[in-house]
Structure 1
Amino acid sequence: MQAVAVVTMVRDDAFFLKAWLRHYGGLFGRENCYVINHGRGAEVADLAQGCNIVGLPGDAHKNFDVKRWSLLNNLVNGLRRYYAHVIVGDVDELVVVDPASGKTLRDLLEDTPEGRVLTPLGLEVIHRVDLEETPVADTILGPRRHVRPAPHYSKPCIVSTPTKIARGGHFTQYPKLHAPDDLYLLHLKFCDFGAYVDAMDRRNRVTQDVGVDAKSAAIGRHWFAEARGEDRAVFGAFAALEMQDGFDLRLLRRKMHRTWKPRGETGFYQFDRPDYKTQYLLPERFTGLV
Structure 2
Amino acid sequence: MQTVAVVTMVRDDAFFLKAWLRHYGEMFGRQNCYVINHGYGEEVAELAKGCNIIGIPGDPHKNFDVKRWSLLNNLFGGLRRYYNHVIVGDVDELVVVDPDAGVNLLQWLEKAETDRVYTPVGLEVIHRIDIEDQPADDMILGPRRHVRIAPHYSKPSIVSTPAKLSRGGHFAQYPKLHTPDELYLLHLKFCDFGAYTGAMDRRNAVSAEVGVGFKQASIGRHWFAEARGEDREVFEGFAELPMQEGFDLRPVRRKMHRSFKARGDTGYFEFDRPNYKGQYLLPERFSGIF
Which bracket does the TM-score occupy, shorter chain normalised?
A: over 0.9
Distance 1:258 1:73 in 2: 28
Deviations 1:131-156 (CA, angstroms, capped at 9, x unpaired): 10111121100000000000000000
SS in 2 for 1:141: coil
Aligned to 2:10: 10
Distance 1:270 1:145 in 2: 29
Summarize the alignment of residues 166-245 of structure 1 with structure 2, pairs less than 5 Å apart. Answer: 166-245=166-245
Distance 2:110 2:175 in 1: 23
Equivalent residue letter for 1:190: F
Distance 2:49 2:96 in 1: 23
- Structure 2 stretches of 5 or more lacking a match? none
Summarize the alignment of residues 14-53 of structure 1 with structure 2, pairs less than 5 Å apart. Answer: 14-53=14-53
Distance 1:242 1:156 in 2: 28
Equivalent residue letter for 2:248: D
Aligned to 1:164: 164
Deviations 1:248-268 (CA, angstroms, capped at 9, x unpaired): 111001101111000111110
Equivalent residue letter for 1:234: V
Distance 2:257 2:105 in 1: 22
Distance 1:163 1:32 in 2: 20
SS in 2 for 1:266: coil
SS in 2 for 1:133: coil
Aligned to 1:138: 138
Contact map agreement 2:62 2:217 (CA 8 A) in 1: yes
Q: TM-score, normalised by structure 1?
A: 0.99
Aligned to 1:95: 95
Aligned to 1:111: 111
1:26, CA displacement in angstroms?
1.0
Equivalent residue letter for 1:214: F
Equivalent residue letter for 2:160: S
Equivalent residue letter for 2:211: G
1:113, CA displacement in angstroms?
1.1
Summarize the alignment of residues 119-138 of structure 1 with structure 2, pairs less than 5 Å apart. Answer: 119-138=119-138
Equivalent residue letter for 2:57: P
Equivalent residue letter for 2:181: D
Summarize the alignment of residues 70-81 of structure 1 with structure 2, pairs less than 5 Å apart. Answer: 70-81=70-81
Distance 1:182 1:279 in 2: 19
Could you list the structure 1 runs, at least 4 aligned residues long, displaced by more than 4 angstroms after superposition. Answer: none
Aligned to 2:256: 256
Deviations 1:239-287 (CA, angstroms, capped at 9, x unpaired): 1111011111110011011110001111100010001001000111011
1:2, CA displacement in angstroms?
0.2
Distance 1:70 1:137 in 2: 32
Deviations 1:62-82 (CA, angstroms, capped at 9, x unpaired): 000000000000001000000
Aligned to 2:266: 266
SS in 1 for 2:232: helix
Contact map agreement 2:6 2:34 (CA 8 A) in 1: yes
Number of residue pairs matched by the alignment: 290
The alignment yields a C-alpha RMSD, in angstroms, of: 0.5
- Structure 1 stretches of 5 or more lacking a match? none
Distance 2:3 2:178 in 1: 18
Q: TM-score, normalised by structure 2?
A: 0.99
1:203, CA displacement in angstroms?
0.1
Distance 1:137 1:247 in 2: 26
Contact map agreement 2:125 2:190 (CA 8 A) in 1: yes
Deviations 1:218-255 (CA, angstroms, capped at 9, x unpaired): 00001000000000110011111110111111100110
Deviations 1:176-229 (CA, angstroms, capped at 9, x unpaired): 000000000000000000000000000000000000000000000010000000
SS in 2 for 1:278: coil
Distance 1:263 1:18 in 2: 35
1:115, CA displacement in angstroms?
1.4
Distance 1:14 1:32 in 2: 20
Deviations 1:145-177 (CA, angstroms, capped at 9, x unpaired): 000000000000100111110000000000000
SS in 1 for 2:229: coil
Q: Is 2:34 the partner of 1:67? A: no
Deviates more, 1:133-142 or 1:4-13: 133-142
